[in-house]
A = this chain, B = another copy of it.
Amino acid sequence: MVKYSRQRECILKNLQGRRDHPTADMVYESVRMEQPNISLGTVYRNLALLAENGQILKISTGTGPDHFDGYTSPHVHFVCRHCGKVIDMEEIPAINLIDKTPAHFDGVIEGYELQIVGKCGACLSIISQSLITQ
């Protein structure tokens, strides 16, 4: 049985009120403005709970910490392989895989995750800088 908590509501509102893709630590720093005594463990626990409920998205980039997204409508993310930054790519339509799922599969398919990967503008200029100074 899930009980209300002021902290959880604050975390959800925070994510719903922004369109970037903060890490747990960034959410923690931001929520601390309103809830100065909140602990990082509480942030992690509630982010996991909210993501399980489908109220937020958890984005694992493979580069650094996980990111979170309060905007849950289907959309595609770009992930920078160099710094792990996440950027919305609304130009790319979300695809439909439901009718393509194999008939015989030992398990249940709950959805899919599509990430466009590459290097963001900031990292590109850092990399070109370091090539010059070599």
Contacts and interface: CB of A to CB of B under 8 A. Distances in A.
Copies in the complex: 2
A108 interface: yes
Given A78-B109, A97-B116, A106-B120, 13 more contacts: A58-B62, A60-B61, A60-B62, A78-B107, A80-B107, A92-B97, A107-B118, A107-B124, A109-B117, A109-B118, A112-B117, A113-B114, A113-B115
B117 A111 contact: yes
Interface in A94-127: 95, 97, 100-102, 105-121, 123-124
Contacts of A34: none
A89 interface: yes
Interface of A: 58, 60-62, 66, 78, 80-81, 87, 89, 91-93, 95, 97, 100-102, 105-121, 123-124
B114 A112 contact: yes
Contact of A95 (B95, B108, B119): B95
Nearest to A120: B107
A106 B58 CA distance: 24
Nearest to A93: B100
